[in-house]
Amino acid sequence: MNKTINLQELGRRDYKDIWDYQDVLFQSVVDTKIKNRREDANLETPNYFLFVEHPHVYTLGKSGDMSNLLISEAQLIEKGATFYKVNRGGDITYHGPGQIVGYPILDLENFFTDIHKYLRLLEEMIILTLEEYGLKAERSPGETGVWLDVGTPFARKICAMGVRASRWVTMHGFALNVNADLGYFDHMIPCGIKGKAVTSLNVELGKQTIDEAEVKAKLLTHFSALFEATFSEESVSAK
């Protein structure tokens, strides 16, 4: 089992470009697995972890409701935002500057074959990272992602998640609000859940900005421990 993960820092990139790039990596892993089974090739399957920041964009998952986007196409253009329907789970979400987006493309057969465990470990990575900043983050029953003050009138989401898996290979991932412009969340019903607020790490800590490189380092430390994995960094530019 290959537990080495190729880490790629992609900077700020258009959502569709990175979606296409994810798909290329995802399909290459799936193709290797198919070849192994058909030809008994015993080839090692790679794992990837992409860090990226997107320009303003709204995405709607397979089970999402279009009515959860509250602005028109003309208003999207006015706000410099784009919109895509995508093949991940979940409803609508927003990505934008000040948000750390992580896309693990893993062959779970290198780790464990349990998609629910995978999601719970992603959540745990976020919870442990936020704990380092003095925040008590939690899961909200029946709602994937990471929240603060669950079970109170002040419940607010700080990290959204949505994944796709096929043949135990994952794509898409998580979006952690670190220095996010929360005004963009007003133009949708986040994850289709009415009456729940959204927050960002800098808001919670009362700071103008948080060092995103520091947050990423903490995320990787916890991911590595939870998945018993090691990272190798690649300098790769997504096509």
Binding positions are 88-95, 160-162, 173-175
Is 191 catalytic? The answer is: yes
Cα–Cα distance for residue pair 218/178, rounded to 1 Å = 13
Catalytic residue from among 108, 130, 176, 191: 191
Strand, helix or coil at 105? strand
The annotated binding site for substrate is made up of 88-95, 160-162, 173-175
Cα–Cα distance for residue pair 104/150, rounded to 1 Å = 26
Question: 182 and 199 in contact (C-beta within 8 Å)?
Answer: yes
Partners of 69 in the beta sheet?
188
DSSP-assigned letters across all residues of 179-237: S--GGGGGGB-GGG-TT-EE--HHHHHT-S---HHHHHHHHHHHHHHHHT-EEEEE---
Helices of type H across 40-182: 73-78, 115-131
Active site residues: 191
